[in-house]
Structure formats: C-alpha cells, structure tokens
Amino acid sequence: MLSTEIAALTEKNHKEVMRDIRVVVEKMQSTDLRFACESITYTGANGQAYKCYELDYEATMIVMTGYDVVARAMSQQNLDWA
C-alpha cells in the first residue's frame, strides 16, 4: 500500500505518515522482523513529482495498526498462532 493511501484511510496528513514510516523503518532495522518499504515517487494532480513509500502487507499493518486502537486489537486477536 502507498503512504498516500494510508494517509487517506487514516485521515492524516501525508507528511506525518511519511515521518511515522521513517520512525518505524529506523526501529525495525535493529530487529530480524520483516518490514518491506520502498521509497518511490508519484506525480501529483499538478504534474509535480512527490516522494511516497510503498509498503508490503506486513509493513502496512504495522503502520496502520499504530494509528487505530480497534484495528490493533483486531489484528492481535486474529493472529494465527499455529
């Protein structure tokens, strides 16, 4: 999922979402946990290029559940412990 989509879904400023993703990336680098995040550019409606992040499913869930207590609780309750 793109950071722009996360911003829209969470009704947060994209700049803040980008900052939050950078913080998560920094913290995850010191672990063996999987977190795939790539910096890319997109073209805005005005024709200008802007930076954003493209996250895999796991990374998206880590960021999204950080914003939403209910989503965090649901993801924890639905973990597959098998």
For residue range 20-65, list pLDDT tens digits in order. Answer: 999 999 888 888 877 889 999 999 899 999 999 999 988 888 898 8
Question: How far apart are the C-alpha atoms of 49 and 70, rounded to whole Å?
Answer: 34
Confidence of residue 81 (pLDDT cuts 50, 70, 90): very low
* Higher-pLDDT residue of 76, 47: 47
What is the domain partition of the chain in residue ranges? 3-77
Averaging pLDDT over each range in 26-30, 53-57, 66-70, 76-80, which range is the top one?
53-57
Question: How far apart are the C-alpha atoms of 20 and 45, rounded to whole Å?
Answer: 24
